[in-house]
Amino acid sequence: MFMKPIALAAVLIGLAAAPAFAAAVTYSGTRGDQKIILELTEPEDGPVLGRYTQLSEGADVPLHFIIQGKDGFELAEEKRCTPEICVVPEDGDYSTAPLGAHWILHYAADRATLTGLWYAEVPGAAVVAVTLTRVGQRVYDREDGFAYDYFLWNDYDGAPITPENTPYDYAKMQVALTEGPLQTMNGATYHEVIDPRTKFTFPRVVSLPGGGDIAPVNTMLDQQRWATSFIGLQCLGQDYLSGGWDTRRVGNGYSPLGDIDQEGISVDYISDTVMSISQGGSIYCGGASPHNHIDYYTYDVRAGGALDLSRIFKDWDAASNDPTQALVDWVIAAYPKTPDYDADYAAECEINGNIAEHLDISFAPDDTAVFLIGGIDQAACMGAIVTMPLAQIRNLLTDTASDYFPSLNS
């Protein structure tokens, strides 16, 4: 039997005594015939709140506390915002979010399952059965628990998306992918895959020369594809007030996914040891301005991580993952001698300063090194500045470079 919420003062006293860190629990199951994922706080830690997604759509819908009892609780989900029903609160209090459908859920004795009902606040709407199974949990800071954006998992900058770290987000990525035709480069085969919710194409390795293990590199590619997908799905989540609704998203010419569906990803190089990809586009989910970008990623195919360029170039510092001054000086001197040198571009983009601060290295067919500018806000100033076959710059290379590019042995 449910109990009405106790007085606000008593709730706050209870929260003050709650542990600083608490569990957010992920459940997977069905609402009627729809596959869904929920993430909920534990009732022992205060009023239950959370989020859910319909797996076929991927947008997070915030869930608000209504009432709870010993073995169950009732929640209400937010409605999608329109300018008529949503006003962004200046004080960060999202309790004014418009609420819609309700969930009434009950725990099994062992807390392994949740069952209950979902119903919309529409006259004559059907009541739908909900069946959920606990699949994992993560730790979050309960002190920030009532601020929805702190409750969410926000660290996509290098933190792996795994069943242990991020069970909700990991479960949300487990959807069937569309596969494109096989493509071949340097004896390796790959195809493009598409998450039907976010629509951009992304490479997945099918085979490597000599039958090498494809699992390590595909694990890295999956992490990058998922992180990219989350950008678009977070844009969809901004349809809700607690998810960061912003009126600047309306009628701005970008898709509901913030144009992640227009993101361009290409395979620049692949062998049984090294893979380089580039990714670019313009993303806008609201805020001051779009994010125009070209990003470059080079993977160690055998190890499944980012390629340690100090294994290839003598003047790349492994500790800082940056070029040394000697390599910076070499690129600055080499650029004016290349066929692609453009004095106006070099001046406008302050190219020498960008080489010093933002030099990166990728690879291209025929075992070619591509010295490039990446990781800056000016998309027009990013890209290749010096392209050179590795065989012609042996003086820059380490003794271990041939382990990654066997052609250097000839």
- DSSP letters, 47-100, are S--EEEEETTT---EEEEEEEEESSEEEEEEEPPP-TTT----TT--GGGS-EE
Indicate whether 12 pLDDT > 50.
Answer: no
Could you tell me the residue ranges of all domains in the chain? Answer: 2-172, 175-307, 313-410
Indicate whether 145 pLDDT > 70.
Answer: no
User: Mean pLDDT, to the nearest integer, of 189-210?
Assistant: 97
Q: Provide the CATH number for the domain formed by 2-172 in this structure.
A: 2.40.160
Question: 74: closest CA among 31, 127, 116?
Answer: 116
**CB-count burial class (<10 Å; 0-12, 13-18, 19+) for 54:** middle
Is-contact 100 78, C-beta < 8 A?
yes
CA distance linking residue 291 with residue 231, whole number of Å: 11
Is-contact 206 182, C-beta < 8 A?
yes
DSSP-derived secondary structure letter, 145: T
DSSP-derived secondary structure letter, 112: S
Q: Residue 272: what pLDDT?
A: 95
Regarding pTM above 0.85, the answer is yes
If residue 267 lies in a helix (H) or strand (E), which one and from where to where? strand 264-270
Q: Sorting pLDDT into bands at 50, 70 and 90, what band is 118?
A: very high
In three-state secondary structure terms, 265 is strand
Higher pLDDT, 246 or 161: 161
User: Mean pLDDT, to the nearest integer, of 99-110?
Assistant: 95
Indicate whether 16 pLDDT > 70.
Answer: no
CA distance linking residue 158 with residue 276, whole number of Å: 18
- Highest mean pLDDT (candidates 42-56, 104-118, 238-252): 104-118
Contacts 24+ apart (CB under 8 A), 188-196: 188/270, 188/271, 188/272, 190/267, 190/270, 193/225, 195/225, 195/229, 196/56
Residue type, 160: P
Number of C-beta neighbours around residue 261 at 10 A? 17
Beta-ladder partners of 75:
65, 103
Tens of pLDDT, residue by residue over 293-335, are 899 999 999 999 999 999 999 999 999 999 999 999 999 999 9
User: Mean pLDDT, to the nearest integer, of 23-30?
Assistant: 95
User: Mean pLDDT, to the nearest integer, of 204-223?
Assistant: 95
Higher pLDDT, 234 or 287: 234
Indicate whether 154 pLDDT > 80.
Answer: no
Write out the DSSP string of 21-43: EEEEEEEEEEETTEEEEEEEE-G
User: Cβ neighbours of residue 298 under 8 Å, at least 6 residues apart?
Assistant: 274, 275, 276, 277, 306, 307, 309, 361, 362, 363
User: Mean pLDDT, to the nearest integer, of 340-347?
Assistant: 93
Q: Angle, nearest 10°, between helix axes 351-358 and 325-334?
A: 150
Residue type, 125: A
181-214 as b/e, with b when 16 or more CB fall inside 10 Å? eeeeebebebbbbbbebbbbbbbbbeebeeebeb
3-state helix, strand, coil in the chain (%, to 5): 25, 35, 35
Indicate whether 373 pLDDT > 70.
Answer: yes
Indicate whether 53 pLDDT > 80.
Answer: yes
Is-contact 41 141, C-beta < 8 A?
no
Q: Provide the CATH number for the domain formed by 175-307 in this structure.
A: 3.30.565
Indicate whether 15 pLDDT > 90.
Answer: no
User: Cβ neighbours of residue 197 under 8 Å, at least 6 residues apart?
Assistant: 56, 57, 58, 175, 229, 232, 233
- Alpha-carbon torsion, ordered 205, 206, 211, 213, to 10 deg: 50
∠ Cα 36 198 285 (to 5°): 100
User: Mean pLDDT, to the nearest integer, of 8-32?
Assistant: 66
Q: Residue 369: what pLDDT?
A: 98
User: Mean pLDDT, to the nearest integer, of 250-277?
Assistant: 94
